[in-house]
Amino acid sequence: MTTLNGTMKWMILAAVLGLAAVSGGCSGSEPTQAAAGQEEAGGEAQEERGPNDGRLLRDGDFALELAIFEEGVPPEYRAWATRAGQPVDPAAVRLVVELTRIGASVDRIEFAPQEGFLRSTSEVREPHSFVVSITAAAAGASHRWSFESFEGRTRIVAATAAEAGVVVETAGPRQIDDVLALYGVIAASPESVRAVSARYPGPIRSIARSLGDTVKRGELLATVESNESLQTYAVMAPIGGVITARMANPGEVAGDQPLFVITDLGNVTAELSVFARDLARVQRGQRARIRSVDGAATGEGRVTYVSPAGAGANQALMVRVALDNADRRWTPGVYLNAELLVGGSTAPVAVRTDAIQRFRDWQVVFRNEGDLFEVQPVELGRSDGEWIEVTGGLPAGAAYVARNSFLIKADIEKSGASHDH
């Protein structure tokens, strides 16, 4: 399967924006009115505005103006009823508004009379993107209307979105780990370092490899003449790796001291400093995320060793994290930062941290239903850097854009997500 690079993704997205995106503000969608008088002969439904700048809905001589009011108060609906152009007593009107959102959830909004108008008894929660169904009962007659009012929404064919790198997942329970921030340095794994000595003492006759050379297991390193047998024997590499120390030259005498040190850099260790107060939180097997100080290299590993006693002037304890280094991204001596995942608890609803975007003044995810993608403000809780708890705004089981959510945000913003009611 071909992997799309960033340029290709943007090319696909550009095509999406030009051909498949449909988004807009609360008044940006064409309404479908059930009432007579809302359509012109042979034309599309036309939105009529009332004296309070709300949407004006007509049914015979009865009319209802409906507006979202949010100046100095949480968003609420306000409505004004007239018959034959004359105001109708708000107490004589029974009004109910149902808002059907993405995911088929329905908010039922009821109203209470105020001086001269009807006021919703509950907040109209964001986003203001829904199909609006209205029932008004007055003077023994019932009046019904419906229209679409979308904002922060776009339509992209699911297959096209997937080609552009958009990944959709399902929100649900997830372990949120506590994070312990540490620092340290990359070192060769103790298990991957081998000192090579002569089997028998005697003069060194030849040296086959130099400092920094890469050798394979079984390769010739040197030849030594045995003092006892006067026979020359080969000193071979016991492991594959890099010669990181050489303490031998032709003509010198081999004794008990190592001639070479070979280090296998295919696996390295992150040596992290942990203060004694945090030691009780650290256990072997815990997962750690590692990043070089300059951010050029990242990786993950597991704790393999926790020192039993402190060392150094600050009495910090050492923790080792094993890292795969087959691609040689890690060089011993490089300083690093680490996040050690040290327990935590299960969040009832969590999403990937990459899913979170900033939209207007909200932190949001983008919900998905078929070819529809829509902004969803959320309240957030704990995070371990990979997952973040959602404490409000998104139910468990909801489909959301987990990766490359910025593409959806760009599409919506390009289309103009107005907030006009």
Closest CA to 104 of 68, 130, 76, 133: 130
**Distance, CA of 417 to chain centre:** 23
Q: What is the pTM of this model?
A: 0.68
The predicted-structure confidence for 241-252, as pLDDT tens digits, reads as follows 999 999 999 999
Residue with more model confidence, 84 or 35? 84
With bands split at pLDDT 50, 70 and 90, how would you rate the model's confidence at 32? very low
Q: What is the mean pLDDT of residues 291-314?
A: 83
DSSP 169-184: EE-EEEEEEEEEEEEE
Residue with more model confidence, 82 or 38? 82
With bands split at pLDDT 50, 70 and 90, how would you rate the model's confidence at 124? very high
| Residue 65, H or E segment | strand 62-69
Closest CA to 134 of 82, 86, 93, 84: 93
CA-to-CA distance for 62 and 91, rounded, in angstroms?
Answer: 16
What pLDDT, on the 0 to 100 scale, is given for residue 173? 97
Our CA angle for 62, 87, 89, nearest 5°, is 100
Average pLDDT, the chain: 88
> Which phi and psi (to 5°) does residue 8 adopt?
-65, -40
Residue 399 pLDDT exceeds 80: yes
Alpha-carbon dihedral angle through residues 215, 219, 222, 228, given to the nearest 10 degrees: 140
- Scored b (16 or more CB within 10 A) or e, 251-265 reads eeebeeebbbbbbbb
With bands split at pLDDT 50, 70 and 90, how would you rate the model's confidence at 31? very low
Q: Do the Cβ atoms of 87 and 96 come closer than 8 Å?
A: no
The predicted-structure confidence for 48-98, as pLDDT tens digits, reads as follows 999 999 999 999 999 999 999 999 999 999 999 999 999 999 999 999 999
CA-to-CA distance for 410 and 375, rounded, in angstroms?
Answer: 12
Residue 104 pLDDT exceeds 70: yes
Helix, strand, coil abundance in the chain, percent, nearest 5: 10, 50, 40
What pLDDT, on the 0 to 100 scale, is given for residue 47? 84
What pLDDT, on the 0 to 100 scale, is given for residue 277? 85
Long-range contacts made by residues 37-42, C-beta under 8 angstroms, separation at least 24?
A: 38/145
Residue 311 pLDDT exceeds 80: no
With bands split at pLDDT 50, 70 and 90, how would you rate the model's confidence at 316? confident
With bands split at pLDDT 50, 70 and 90, how would you rate the model's confidence at 307? confident
Residue 100 pLDDT exceeds 50: yes
Domains within the chain, CATH numbers bracketed: 30-149 (2.60.40.3340), 155-178+345-415 (2.40.420.20), 190-263 (2.40.50.100)
